[in-house]
Structure 1
Amino acid sequence: MTDSVLFEELSTACGRVIGRATLNAPRSLNALTLDMIQALDARVADWQGRDEVVAIWLDGAGGKALSAGGDVVALHGAAVKHAGQARNPFAEQYFAEEYRLDYRLHVSETPVICWADGVVMGGGMGLMQGSQFRLVTPRSRLAMPEVTIGLFPDVGASWFLNRLPGHTGLFLGLTGVHLNARDALDLGLADRFLDADPEEVLKALTENRYDGDRDADRARLYRQLRDLGTTPEGLQAAVSDHRDTIESLCDGATVDEVVTRILEHKQCDGWLDKARKTLAAGCPQTMHLVWEQLRRARHLSLAEALRLEWCVAVQCCLHSDFREGVRALLIDKDGSPRFRHRSVDEVSADYIDGFFRNPAPEHPLADLG
């Protein structure tokens, strides 16, 4: 077992328990290693199978993040090791187990409560969006910033970004823009805003007398979290304030057209300027993957979307842009990735089609759903 995830069972007033899982790798902002994913999946499965467990609480240690994402450094190492090969065993295992955990959370009959405080990116978003009660705070910062490293928004993003209003999911995927708690609530990516001590919130939840009826206990949690929630006063509603502009910029027939419209939209607006600059420095391959994953997954179930994403994720680890993006951002930290394509219009449709092909004889997530 690993101490990078801490597990605790909190007794309630009626003798039932709330299972608490705390990601405990604060130096990496709780980036999800394979060991952490395996430990969390096993314990969540155990809690889901026990009638006395009335809820599962997820949070992160260190006070800075729920999770900044997946273990891209380990994935980079495996990508370098298997460069030029047809298979990458570590990437195949990592993404299969991560997505299986995400799916387990999404379909859990035991309510999952996620304390999404601080940085919530990539893999952290997968855990958060799989939870039934997604709690944000004044410090919450959500993003899917994979365009910076040649990956793509995964962990179910093909499914949950497609369910955001208008073109906002596309805009978030292309620009990796950061969202605060107000944005998350406005988009339906969070359920409650709590400006409170998480230990006090947990204490209040344990003081309930649960009766063991799953629906009644879930309703009890709902009402209590509703009553504890407040309005995020003082936080800019950036997405809502820019909604008309986002819709106009993303109203294009092709990804080339949309990217061009965003890059050419230059005005004195700090939030939009930051989004534009991230896109300008981003990976053209990722821009096409974002467009194509949302198009292909538009009518897919969550399980089907995760199967699609597994193929793309593993293929990314077999292609050079992911290696180069992580090298520039996290290994050498020179901030100057040399991506394969210089601009979005250089990427061919045939090249992108290859990312959606399954490199394995059998799909490891074939049984989902």
Structure 2
Amino acid sequence: MSSPVLFTELNTNNGYKIGVATLNQPKILNGLSLEMCRLLGKQLAQWEADPDVVLVIMQGAGDKAFCAGGDLHGLYQSMQTWQGQGAWANTYSREFFEIEYKLDYQIHTYNKPVICWGHGIVMGGGIGLMIGASHRVVSESSRLAMPEVSIGLFPDVGGSWVLNHLPGKTGVFLASTGAILNTSDALFSGLANYQVDHANWEAVVNGLLEAAWLEPKYRRFNDDLVHAVLAAHKGKAAGVGPLQQHYALINEICAPVNIQTIYQNIALLKDSDDPWLSRAASTMLKGAPLSMALGIVLQQKTLHLSLADVFRMEYIVALHCCADGQLQEGIRALLVDKDKKPKWTPSDINDVTEAILASYLDSPWPKSDRHPLSDLV
């Protein structure tokens, strides 16, 4: 049986190596499992310590996706097993989010250049892997989103930090609606910083192999080598995307602090003549009201926090989401029974109270225990 992540090392022309990590689950759009997170974390650490490795590339097998998200089936089974036993009882969810978040943080703080080849679908957990990379590359067919509102979760994997760093109030809108970004908007938002056409990716890799690398301690020089190769193979401009086109409107309707007001403002777009806006509003209206609210309140709470503290807060909220029934119901409706008719609780945004939201920020473990992510610095 083939490994869910493939690791290879390419030899550069001047004696260094490029590490390539390929997510190898194309039949499920390279969905990120706990095993894959472990494998990636271990290999990335080895490459970081290897003085011959000057660059790491992350990519996905197949032509459809880099990574479409996390292991929802595994989480669903764990939620069934520990149903009704509280947020700290589910040992699988505790381990999954701990290992996944540590991996994401590892990429953010990596001491060598990392290219993420975000060809095709990049969503949820895929965004978590991609956004920490120093060089985030999309193709002409890339589609990026954080669609957790549809499954009863929230934009995690550092999403609260990521969305807070997007232009204007676009982070609030994307968290609320799970709206899909095309290549142009991925670049406009900053989720991606390079575009390369799929047909030219092999030429990029060859260009990297031919580059005049220096030893890893010259990080800034090597970063510029990567930039030069990617810039030399830049894809054609795709024009203005819908996020950029509606930027002023999004800033206006997502400016209020009150979550219910934002919800009502976005809901009015359901009948918009613009299909992108209409779809975004419809997705929010079908999604979990609690998830929409959590996505916004977490951005508000984490605005001035460090990345490490953001991951620590998201970890607490994620465990509560695995215990409250919302995520379980969302996965059931989408992937198990596939009736696409989730029954959310609360079912109305006006029933999402400050007390409910505050309860998701309470640490579920014994007070004497350390935070599982306390070693992130």
* Fold agreement, TM-score > 0.5: yes
Aligned to 1:254, which of 252, 258, 276? 258
Q: Does 1:72 align with 2:72?
A: yes
The answer to whether the 8 Å contact 2:161/2:310 transfers is: yes
The answer to whether the 8 Å contact 1:138/1:232 transfers is: no
In the aligned structure 2, how far is the partner of 1:130 from the partner of 1:207? 25
> Partner of 2:113 in structure 1?
111
In the aligned structure 2, how far is the partner of 1:297 from the partner of 1:71? 26
| Identical amino acids, percent of aligned pairs | 40
Equivalent residues in 2 for 1:3-82, closer than 5 Å = 3-82=3-82
Q: SS at 2:116's partner residue?
A: strand
Aligned-residue offset at 1:80: 1.1
Equivalent residues in 2 for 1:38-187, closer than 5 Å = 38-86=38-86, 87-187=89-189
In the aligned structure 2, how far is the partner of 1:342 from the partner of 1:275? 18
Mean CA deviation greater in 351-360 or 127-136: 351-360
Aligned to 1:326, which of 323, 326, 331? 331
Equivalent residues in 2 for 1:222-301, closer than 5 Å = 222-233=227-238, 235-265=239-269, 266-301=271-306
Q: Does 1:210 align with 2:218?
A: no
In the aligned structure 2, how far is the partner of 1:30 from the partner of 1:127? 12
In the aligned structure 1, how far is the partner of 2:226 from the partner of 2:195? 15
Q: After superposition, what is the alpha-carbon deviation per residue over 1:43-88, rounded to whole angstroms, capped at 9, x for unaligned? A: 0010001111010000000110000010011101101111111221
Change (3 A) 1:95 1:2: farther
Aligned-residue offset at 1:215: 2.5
In the aligned structure 2, how far is the partner of 1:174 from the partner of 1:2? 38
Q: Does 1:358 align with 2:363?
A: yes
Aligned-residue offset at 1:354: 1.4
In the aligned structure 2, how far is the partner of 1:55 from the partner of 1:187? 25
Name the aligned partner's letter for residue 207 of structure 2. A
List gaps (5 residues or longer) in structure 2: none
In the aligned structure 2, how far is the partner of 1:284 from the partner of 1:38? 33
Aligned-residue offset at 1:236: 4.6
Q: Does 1:200 align with 2:203?
A: yes
The answer to whether the 8 Å contact 1:181/1:232 transfers is: no
Q: After superposition, what is the alpha-carbon deviation per residue over 1:332-354, rounded to whole angstroms, capped at 9, x for unaligned? A: 00000011112111112111111
In the aligned structure 2, how far is the partner of 1:197 from the partner of 1:99? 32
The answer to whether the 8 Å contact 1:2/1:35 transfers is: no
Q: SS at 2:58's partner residue?
A: strand
The answer to whether the 8 Å contact 1:183/1:239 transfers is: yes
TM value normalised by structure 1: 0.97
Q: SS at 2:360's partner residue?
A: helix
Name the aligned partner's letter for residue 156 of structure 1. G
Mean CA deviation greater in 221-230 or 274-283: 221-230
Aligned-residue offset at 1:28: 0.8
Name the aligned partner's letter for residue 205 of structure 1. L
User: What root-mean-square deviation, in Å, do the aligned CA atoms of Structure 1 and Structure 2 show?
Assistant: 1.2
Aligned-residue offset at 1:163: 0.7
In the aligned structure 2, how far is the partner of 1:259 from the partner of 1:331? 28
> Partner of 2:191 in structure 1?
189
In the aligned structure 2, how far is the partner of 1:202 from the partner of 1:98? 27
Aligned to 1:316, which of 312, 321, 332? 321
The answer to whether the 8 Å contact 1:105/1:131 transfers is: yes
Name the aligned partner's letter for residue 150 of structure 2. T
Name the aligned partner's letter for residue 19 of structure 2. G
Q: SS at 1:197's partner residue?
A: helix
Aligned-residue offset at 1:232: 2.5
Aligned-residue offset at 1:251: 2.2
Aligned-residue offset at 1:197: 3.4
Q: SS at 1:8's partner residue?
A: strand
Mean CA deviation greater in 220-229 or 136-145: 220-229
